[in-house]
Amino acid sequence: MDGNSFILLAGSLGVVDILDSISWICTAIGSFMLFKKDGIRRIYAFIPGLREYQLSKMAEREEDGRTYLILNICYYLAKMLEDLFEEGSLVSRFWIVVELSLAIAIIPISIRIFASLCRVFKKPKKWVAVWIILQPVASIIWGFGKDYQPDHELTDIDYSAAAAVSNTTVEELRHGLTVNINERTLTSLGRKIYLLRDIHLSIPTGHMVLLLGGSGAGKTTFLNAVTGYEKADAEIIIDGKNLYNNYESMKYSLGFVPQQDLMRQSDTVIMTLKDAASVRLPKSMTREEKKKRINEVLDKFGLQSVASSQVVKLSGGQRKRLSIALELISDPTLFILDEPDSGLDGVVARNLFTSLRGIADEGKIVVVITHTPDRVIDMFDDVIVLAKDASRTGRLAYYGPVKEAYEFFGKTSMEDILLSVNQTDEGGEGRADEFVEKYAELISRNRTESEAGADNREV
């Protein structure tokens, strides 16, 4: 084919179409080789949208990948609808605006995915721009380049290699929290992924409990399941009532204080508490009753002297106490706090935990996550230890009194207990499955002895 023939052919097909085809082929071939390096099914390299979703999994940004996939599908649907109408018409222009909006929305998600991909491949972040602007080029270089290797390989998870499921439950407490989580899963492209499995425990009222676990052990997922924020295959019973079945009537029985406060900085302390009271307290309460409740929490957390101060002017300890007071306004039964001592020095942190201990002593259940548990461990009654098993699923490695935890793990500090169940690639001892099975055996033995004792009493 001579040069003139090629130009005529390019003109008849459209230069843009030819370039698009070349771009698609290069991206697909490069991704094919890239997926081969990471154990991903290479057929996905030829399917736009699913290809980027697999890249997000490789980059450990699967949530962003799902969002990208949805936006990408919507983008192509909008493009198809645009083509159904006459070019330049009002409806056609509307769909062009929709396409543009979706394309803009995809950009920050792409940046996050490709930035994480650079981290996984240990490459400089300047590659992010190449991936976004020249994805075919980046795909070819990374796919065929021998120096472009991921620091891990994605493979199908072998759940049979992990500690066995106990197939047990705990009896419901009349007063307290009963948790029987069979599993918390998500589905990814038809594949079932376990986030939590086989977690059964009961916490009596009046107990303050430490929630211990390394990164990825499922602490947040566990708390979301317990509070009903993300339902699991589970029964969550609080004082005899099923939370999942009665969520609307029970939601104010739960108090959750996140690590970062969400208060308006320009509001005063009293305004902040009044807003919380208007939302969380029953409509049937009189103004005087609400005022009394606000003063009670101000007194409890030593905030009366700063009641007229703006939130922005509070110290770190005062802000944290105000965050707790907001949740306490509704007098919840279950009180959960995520790193309440973050950023606080030892003295201030201890004063804060003394206040939390007081809340538990009033007949509440207080569950706390903290990265410095040993400095306040004497405040706690019990400890929950979550750990990632061999399949990277959150499992219960121990629940019980703090003193017995040291004996169970053969350690003298909470930090050492955490290291014993952490994976070896996280600097731990990698004994999670050992302790998951040991705890399951302990519970089974205790239950058998309890049932035998009950039978003897009946005789």
Nearest one of 222, 276, 225 to 247, comparing CA atoms: 225
Q: Looking at residue 453, what is its pLDDT? A: 56
Pair 194, 133 in one domain: no
Pair 428, 389 in one domain: yes
Pair 288, 435 in one domain: yes
pLDDT interval class at 452 (50, 70, 90): low
Pair 131, 200 in one domain: no
Q: Is the model more confident about 189 or about 325? A: 325
Where residue 232 falls (left for φ over 0; alpha for ψ -120 to 50; beta otherwise) is beta
Q: Residues 140-184: pLDDT tens digits?
A: 999 999 888 886 655 556 676 778 888 788 889 989 999 999 999
**How many whole angstroms from its chain centre is CA 449?**
37
Q: Is the residue at 90 inside a domain?
A: yes
Contacts with 19 (C-beta within 8 Å, 6 or more apart), sequence order? none
Contacts with 118 (C-beta within 8 Å, 6 or more apart), sequence order? 124, 125, 127, 128
Pair 103, 223 in one domain: no
Q: Is the residue at 36 inside a domain?
A: yes
What is the distance between the alpha carbons of residues 272 and 391, in angstroms, rounded to a whole number? 44
Pair 370, 312 in one domain: yes
What is the distance between the alpha carbons of residues 157 and 444, in angstroms, rounded to a whole number? 27
Pair 41, 186 in one domain: no
Of 144, 177, 201, the residue that ends a domain is 144
Q: Residues 122-139: pLDDT tens digits?
A: 899 899 999 999 999 999
Q: Looking at residue 215, what is its pLDDT? A: 83
Q: Is the residue at 166 inside a domain?
A: yes
pLDDT interval class at 4 (50, 70, 90): very low
Pair 14, 45 in one domain: yes
Q: Average the pLDDT over 400-425 and give the result.
A: 94
Q: Average the pLDDT over 272-289 and give the result.
A: 87
Pair 187, 128 in one domain: no
Q: Residues 203-222: pLDDT tens digits?
A: 999 999 999 998 889 999 99
The three-state secondary structure class of 341 is coil
Q: Looking at residue 72, what is its pLDDT? A: 87
Q: Is the residue at 153 inside a domain?
A: no
Q: Looking at residue 317, what is its pLDDT? A: 85
pLDDT interval class at 370 (50, 70, 90): very high
Q: Is the residue at 149 inside a domain?
A: no
Q: Looking at residue 412, what is its pLDDT? A: 95
Query: Could you give the residue ranges of the DSSP H alpha helices within 121-134?
Result: 127-133
Q: Looking at residue 444, what is its pLDDT? A: 81
**How many whole angstroms from its chain centre is CA 359?**
27
Q: Is the residue at 453 inside a domain?
A: yes
Pair 207, 98 in one domain: no
Of 83, 113, 144, the residue that ends a domain is 144
Q: Is the residue at 86 inside a domain?
A: yes
Q: Is the residue at 154 inside a domain?
A: no
pLDDT interval class at 193 (50, 70, 90): confident
Q: Looking at residue 203, what is its pLDDT? A: 97
Share of the chain above pLDDT 90, in %: 44
Mean pLDDT across the chain, nearest whole number? Answer: 86
Question: Using only C-alpha atoms, what is the Rg of the chain?
Answer: 28
Pair 322, 357 in one domain: yes
First CA to last CA distance, the chain: 100
Q: Residues 233-257: pLDDT tens digits?
A: 999 999 999 999 999 889 888 999 8
Of 91, 117, 144, the residue that ends a domain is 144
Pair 229, 108 in one domain: no
**Domain span including residue 385:** 159-458
Q: Is the pTM of this model over 0.75?
A: no
| Contact assessment for residue 421 and residue 432, using Cβ atoms and an 8 Å cutoff | yes
CATH assignment at residue 454: 3.40.50.300
